[in-house]
Structure 1
Amino acid sequence: MKIDIGISDEDRKSIAEGLNKVLADTFALYIKTHSFHWNVTGPMFNTLHTMFMTQYTELWTALDEIAERIRALGYPAPGSFSQFAELASIKEEVGVPKANDMIRQLVEGHEAAARTIRSVFPAAEQGSDEPTADLLTQRLQIHDKTAWMLRSMLE
């Protein structure tokens, strides 16, 4: 069935392609944060273990919101590890870094996610896609704040 929500087919495609990257970065950051939650050790164990759980839970919820927006635009959401690996700007961690390195990697991950989100705004604005712009703004606020909070732990 044809989609007629006031956004051209070309604009919907461009927005969905950008959101695919946002979804992939969110998934990569979710996996990394959850792994760090499981594997953190050291004097900050309890603080980081709890903080990482809060963060990965928020990221998990965001995955559904982003994927559902892609679907509302009429495109399939990526859903495989290989698709996410190809689309994500955040690289996986296969080892178990020290706690401060975990924090540093998560700062870098949230900053990368913020850059990806910022790169999608022009497509959303071009298509007058306010719901996507709103979603991107909400996600950006969370990534910027989380990066700041994590960065503060390293000072």
Structure 2
Amino acid sequence: MKDALQVVPSASDVSTGVRDAGAISDALAGVLADTYRLVFKTHAYHWNVEGPLFYSIHKLTEEQYENMFAAADELAERIRALGKLAPSTLAQIMEHSKIEDRGIELTAAEMVEDLASDHERVAHRLHAVVELVDGRKDPVTEDLATARSAFHESAAWMLRAIAKS
């Protein structure tokens, strides 16, 4: 028996009946990368927001980054359940993410709009995952992607609603 400390994680064949698990895993890895980048950006804005809406934005962003942090684990575990390796370096996260950094001196309104746009970007990416899994016998990923897109759509709406003048 191998020493448990010498075992190296690897992709493996998993017999779930899912067709094209590699393409699905790759799509989920992109969503995971975006989620991690958006967790960090949301947390940074949470720390640095100022102005009359400070408390409201501070609390909302806290709820959102906590949700996304938990979701990152779900996404990674789904990738592993499909028999593939989840991204495991910051370089992989940066490479696969479509979320971009804006700068450090943004107004509260600019932060809110930036986050709302990013949430929409992730929701669109999740919609693409739903389309990808169609007909590939993967209702688990479809359910996960549907639930996550609902979260991101709601997050964008809430952010814009809180900052509306």
**TM-score normalised by the shorter chain: which range applies?**
over 0.9
Q: CA RMSD in A?
A: 1.3
Question: Does residue 1:103 correspond to 2:112, yes or no?
Answer: yes
4+ residue runs over 6 A deviation = none
CA deviation map 1:72-129 (0-9, x unaligned):
0011101222111111111123413110000000111100001111111222123110
Question: Does residue 1:34 correspond to 2:43, yes or no?
Answer: yes
Choose between structure 1 and 2: higher helix proportion.
1
Whole-Å Cα distance in 1 between the matches of residues 23 and 13 of structure 2?
Answer: 17
- Relative to the length of structure 1, the TM-score reads 0.93
Q: Which ranges in structure 2 are unaligned for 5 or more consecutive residues?
A: 1-11
Identify which range, 83-92 or 108-117, moves more after superposition. Answer: 83-92
Correspondence for 1:90: 99
* Residue among 17, 25, 34 paired with 2:34: 25
Q: How does 1:55-134 map to 2 (within 5 A)?
A: 55-134=64-143
* Residue among 63, 83, 90 paired with 1:54: 63
Q: Greater Rg, structure 1 or structure 2?
A: 2
| Contact kept in structure 1, 2:49 and 2:58, CA below 8 Å | yes
| Contact kept in structure 2, 1:39 and 1:96, CA below 8 Å | no
Whole-Å Cα distance in 2 between the matches of residues 153 and 40 of structure 1?
Answer: 13
The percent of aligned pairs where both chains have the same amino acid is 38
Q: Which ranges in structure 1 are unaligned for 5 or more consecutive residues?
A: none
- Relative to the length of structure 2, the TM-score reads 0.88
| Contact kept in structure 2, 1:32 and 1:93, CA below 8 Å | no
* Residue among 140, 158, 161 paired with 1:149: 158
| Contact kept in structure 1, 2:119 and 2:152, CA below 8 Å | yes
* 3-state SS of 2:101 partner: coil
| Contact kept in structure 2, 1:20 and 1:77, CA below 8 Å | yes
| Contact kept in structure 1, 2:13 and 2:83, CA below 8 Å | no
Tell me the CA shift for residue 51 of structure 1. Answer: 1.0
Tell me the CA shift for residue 29 of structure 1. Answer: 0.8
Correspondence for 1:3: 14
Tell me the CA shift for residue 149 of structure 1. Answer: 1.2
Count of matched residue pairs:
153
Q: For residue 7 of structure 1, what is the amino acid of its counterpart?
A: V
